[in-house]
Structure formats: C-alpha cells, structure tokens
Amino acid sequence: MQRVRSALDESRLVTIAGFGGIGKTRLALEVANELAAGFRDGAWFVDLSGTSDGSVIAGLVASALELRDPSKTSSLAALTEAWRHKTLLLVLDNCEHLRAQCAEFAASFLRSAPHVRILATSREPLDIPEELVMGLRPFAVPEDTKLSASDALRVPAIQLFVDRARAVSAFELNDDNVAAVLDLCRRVDGIALGIELAAARLKMLSLEQLCLKLDRRFGVLARKGGVARQQTLRALIDWSFDLLSPQERRFFMRLGIFAGSFTLEAATAVCPADEGPSVLEGLDALVDKSLLVVETRRDDQRTFRLFGSIRSYARDRLAASGELEAIEVRHRDYYLSVAAAAEAVKAGPDWLVALQPLEFASDDLRSILESTLGASRHQVAGAELASKLADYWKRHHLMREGRAWLECALACEDETFRPDLRVRVRLALLELLVIGDSHTALKLGLEALEALGPDGDDRLGGQLSFHLGKTYADLGNKATASEHLQAAQRQGENCSDARTLARVCNMQGMTAVLGGDLPSAATLFARSSKLLHRINRDYQAVVPLGNLGEVTYAQGRCREAIDLAKEALAIAERNDDRLESAWLLGNLGNYYLALGDDDSADSFTRDALPMALGVGDEWQALCCLDTRVRIAYSRGETEGAARLLGYVEGRLASLNLPRQPLDHELMTQVTTDLRSALGAERTEQLLAEGASLSSEAMLVLTLARGSKAP
C-alpha cells in the first residue's frame, strides 16, 4: 500500500496492473479509504466491469460523483468543467477491456482538472505518458517455516488470511499453526482471492482438514500438467463451488446473470431459492464463503456483487446447466417490470421512489440492452425497456447513452413493434434530445403522431402534443405551436397528467411572452412551478420559476425578479444543475445592472459565463456577454464594450439566432450610444475587430479587470 501512496505523490495517474484475482480492487479500495481524508473533495470509486461501451465512461464517472445536471453531465467537457476546481482521488476499477477509452478519458480529465488524481486497476497498463504503473504480484510468502506468530502477522498474506478466518470462525494464529498457514498461503501462490476463499472454509473445517483437502485438489491438477496461477484460482473457485449444497450451487450460478451490483429484491425476483434456505439465507451463506461481496451504500442501503472472476465462473456454470436462457428472461422481465412501474407513476409525486430500485442497476440495464438491441435479438423487449428509461437516464447523467440505445431501437423497428411502442420510443428520445435539435425533434414527433393515430391514448397523446408544440415554437411557427399546446392541455386534463400540464403551462407562458402578454405569462409560469412542486419535480420547477423572474423584471419589478431568480438558483445548485445555474446567474447580473449595481452585475456574470460555456450553452453565454457589454459601457470602457459587442453580433449571425425582443431593444440602444461616443467609423472598426476574436480571446477581453483589447 505504501508503494501506491508514494506513486500517487509522484504521478497524477497510477495504474495497479496484475492478473485477475490478485487483489487489485481490494488494494485500490484500501488506498482510497486511507487517502480520502487528504483530498478536500474525497475519493470516488467507479467500477467499469459491467460495461463494454467506452463511450459511457464519462457518464459513469458523473453518476459516481453524484453530479446533478440531467442534460449535460455525461459529456467529458461538462464533467471536467464541473470538477476542474475540485481536489479528489478517482478510482477507475477494471479498465482492461476499455484500455484505449480509459486512457483517453484519463488524459483529458487530468489535463482539464489539475487537482484530480486517478488510481486505475487493469490487467494491462493504459499506456499513456502520464501513467505510473505499479505491477501487483501475488503476496510474497516467506520460506522460513520457523517464524513466530507475532512475526508472521507482519506478512501481508498472513494478515489477510487471519482477518478473513476471524470473520467466519474463532481462529487465532499461534506458534503451533503458523507453519501450516504459511504453507497454505504458498499453495495458493499468494493470490489474494485464493487466500480469502481458502480462509472462508474454516467456518466448516479445521486448519488441518483444510490443508489436507487443498493438498488433494492440487495433487490432481499437478498430475494434469502443473498448477499455473490461473489454474490455481480456478481450482479454488471449483473447490468453493463443490462445497456448496445443491441448492446453494443453483442459487450461486443464477446470481451470475447480474452484471453489476444488485439488491435483495432483485435477487429474490431473478434467482428464486429452491426448496431449502431463503434468498436472504442464500446470500448470507455466499458472503460467508467469500463468493459474494456486500456493499454499503448511501442511507445504509445494502447491495451485493460478485467479483469479476467469480461472476464469469458462475455464468459459465449457469450456461453449462442449461438454465441460462430461462434466467436471462427472468432477469430481463424483472428490470422491465421495475422500469414499467416507474414509468406508470412519472406524472405523480412518487416518481423518484419508483426509480429507487434502479439506483444501482446501470450495469444490468446496459447488459440487457446489449443482449437485445445490441445483439439484434428480442428487440421488442429491449425497445420496451429503453422506452421506459428516459427519467432514469436523466437522473443518472446518461443522456448520451440513452439516446444511443433509443436510436438503436429505432433502427431495429419491424412489423413486430406495436404502434404504441413506436410512439413511446420516440417520446423517450424526444426527452433526451440535445437542446436546439428542432428538426430532429419535428421528424420524431410527426412519426410518432402517425403511429399514434386519431384514437390514441390521451396520456401518450398529451406528451406528444406538448413536444410538437414546443418544437413548432422553437421553429418560430407560433400558430401551429399554440394548436398543439392546446391539444396537450386537453389531453393532460382528460388523464390528470400533472407533469404534462405543468410543461404545457410553461410553454404557453413562453408564447405569451413572445406575444407581449406579460400578465398571462406570469400566471402560467407560476401555475407551472406550483404543479411541478406538487409532484416532487422541484428541479424542473427551476425553469418556470426563472421564467417568472424574467417576466417580473420585464414588468419593471427588479427586486422581486432578483428574489425569484435566487429562489430558482438555490434549487438548481442543490441539484448541481449547472445548465440552469448559468442561466439564472446571468439573469441576476442583468437584474442588478438594471438597479445600477455594476459590481454585483459583474460578479454574477463572471460566474455565469464560464459555467455556460462549460455545459455547452452558447446561447446563454451570449446573453451573458450582452450584459457584460452594458457593464463595460456603464463604466466608460467604450472601446472594450464595442469589441465585445462585435463578438456577440458575429456569433449570433453565425448561429442564425435572434435576440429576445427586450434584449434586442436594449442592445440597439447600446449600439446607438457607442456610435455617439466613439463615432460611426471607429465603432464599425471595433465591431469588426470583435467579430474576428476567438472565444479564448473573448474571455480574456471580458474577464480582465478592465475591458482593454488583448
């Protein structure tokens, strides 16, 4: 352990490399637990063994770090932006099957987050320049058989054996048995997992009996051509398996279907115990025999997990038994039923509670989707599951992965896909689309509308009408948008879908703003926020609450607007929602500027601008820059203001984005004032200079103490 600690002092990327079962994960966890207090933001563990898709690494890390920006945190850029000022240790466990992707992730993350250190485990090095490789070998076991018990306890292999033996029996190391323990540790080649499995047998056997049985088993292997390390490990797992009762063997094999961590409820549903011990008793027995690990989660929740080599063994045994296909169906059906239950209550206050059984299921959900949609078999079941996971993917920062699976479901569609399934797949994909992708949204919406037909379900119809209304509004077609939003409202009322009604109210408020009807807009935004709070979707209430602040500001009530924006910002920050936080910080800068408080306006927009750029929201960044143009002008920094204005105008033209009416009026007045102060010719020159600036030069210009040109 000291070598790894020293290596982390020397390098920001340390890889513990060694063959399976040697103890890489155990060592990494011990090091992380010991060093966590020395990192201001702690140590975090990410197990990669449950996925074969390297594109989801950033999302898995975001989930482990408990980031709460549902729309952006699965991107590496957003992840590094969110954590670039943090000081932490990140453990990436089981990297060997994703070496290239892990190497790329580690290099990028370390480059962008200078106070992060990464401890990786892999059967092979990641092979990047920043890496310091710590080769992990089996425990060295002294040849001296005359060691005293006190001296032997300083040997790591003996320490591990004694600790594990004490967990299952009243074993104590003494001068009489130390030679036998040393010999036993040698016989399993010092392999950590082998030592654990052997020590677990002391619950039923004496040390003498254990050594005798080990001799017999390895004697058979030796006659077959030697006991290589991997043969040793397999032999030890074989032995542990052979010592299980018939019922325990079947239960153990069935648990091999789980790709990652699982709960007692999942084990009960997927791997029912046969006659004999209950599922809980079966889990307890496998934990006692070191074949299963118990994990303590937040709020004292418990999950279970098989080590990778043991999981592979169990699954191989399950396949050989002929039960694999039946257990695959039970496994798939369980997670589909949980997802369906969550989907059924997504419009009510219990939606978060319904998602809890999926809290630690990412590896298993991914495994099911890979074995269905990814393998072009049982595609309907895979599409059913994917269509019900939009809320899950949002909550766990896996939106990019969710989009990929839903697009895969679209590609798999054939005559076996029912019309309602076609609709639900498209609705789920509409939930996860990147902001601004209106043309894709329109295509999906119209396809879903055709599949739904005129007599479709009101709940699905209401959700679809909302998305079509929002899409047409984004495309500037206000009349068609209004028709669809009115239809969504009727359908939402027919089926008491509070979530759809809340979203419709917010969009209707937006269209009222564009039509100049601010009092109606304020009423609609307030209603939307109230509905979302009622169904425990506080984090989504941030948007209508922030919109209400904008309307209040437009009505000239700046103090009230500030209070509303701060209320919404507090919710966004509680949920680590950097996308909406950037928007609200920018708005606060605008509101304070209207009160003549340049310093507060400057402070809020300084925070907002890099945050908006970090989550990829250029529109919000440009709105924030408009405010900073006005700040610079109010301070008499006219040339800097003109250059910055030129940058904003250039980007808006390039993106074909118009300003909101109130913003357009304000910035037109600023442009007129600049021409008066600088002269038309000089103003045009400075605007052109600003339009040619890179984003990096723009940041230097606007975040410098003054607004001089770089």
What tokens does 654 get?
């390039």
Distance (Å) of CA 706 to CA 156, 594, 595, 632 = 61, 21, 21, 8
- Report yes or no: 162 and 153 within 8 Å, Cβ to Cβ: yes
DSSP characters over 56-94: GHHHHHHHHTT---TTTTTSHHHHHHHHTT--EEEEEE-
- Report yes or no: 598 and 582 within 8 Å, Cβ to Cβ: no
Round to whole Å and give the CA distance between 220 and 217. Answer: 6
Round to whole Å and give the CA distance between 195 and 186. Answer: 9
pLDDT at residue 276, as a whole number: 62
- Judged on CB neighbours under 10 Å (0-12, 13-18, 19+), 222 is exposed
- Report yes or no: 202 and 168 within 8 Å, Cβ to Cβ: yes
DSSP characters over 107-125: HHHHHH-TTEEEEEEESS-
- Report yes or no: 184 and 152 within 8 Å, Cβ to Cβ: no
pTM for this prediction: 0.72
Q: Helices 362-372 & 379-387, crossing angle to 10 degrees? A: 140
- Judged on CB neighbours under 10 Å (0-12, 13-18, 19+), 91 is buried
Round to whole Å and give the CA distance between 173 and 661. Answer: 81
Round to whole Å and give the CA distance between 230 and 21. Answer: 9
In 570-612, the DSSP E strands lie at none
Residues of the chain short of pLDDT 50, as ranges, are 68-73, 220-227, 705-710
pLDDT at residue 707, as a whole number: 41
**Where is 548: in which H helix or E strand?**
helix 538-554
- Judged on CB neighbours under 10 Å (0-12, 13-18, 19+), 250 is buried
**Where is 14: in which H helix or E strand?**
strand 13-17
Degrees, nearest 5: CA angle 68-72-74:
85
Alpha helices in 279-350 (DSSP H): 279-288, 308-321, 324-344
- Report yes or no: 563 and 596 within 8 Å, Cβ to Cβ: no
Degrees, nearest 5: CA angle 20-25-26:
115
What single-letter amino acid sits at 227? Answer: V
Round to whole Å and give the CA distance between 176 and 174. Answer: 5
* Residue 116, phi then psi, degrees to nearest 5: -100, 145
Neighbours of 275 (CB within 10 A): 6
Nearest one of 10, 21, 253 to 121, comparing CA atoms:
21
Distance (Å) of CA 79 to CA 106, 576, 611 = 12, 12, 11
DSSP characters over 366-402: HHHHHHHTTTTSSHHHHHHHHHT-HHHHHHTT-HHHH
Round to whole Å and give the CA distance between 710 and 699. Answer: 10
- Report yes or no: 634 and 593 within 8 Å, Cβ to Cβ: yes
Distance (Å) of CA 48 to CA 111, 261, 355, 372, 424 = 21, 12, 22, 20, 30
pLDDT at residue 709, as a whole number: 35
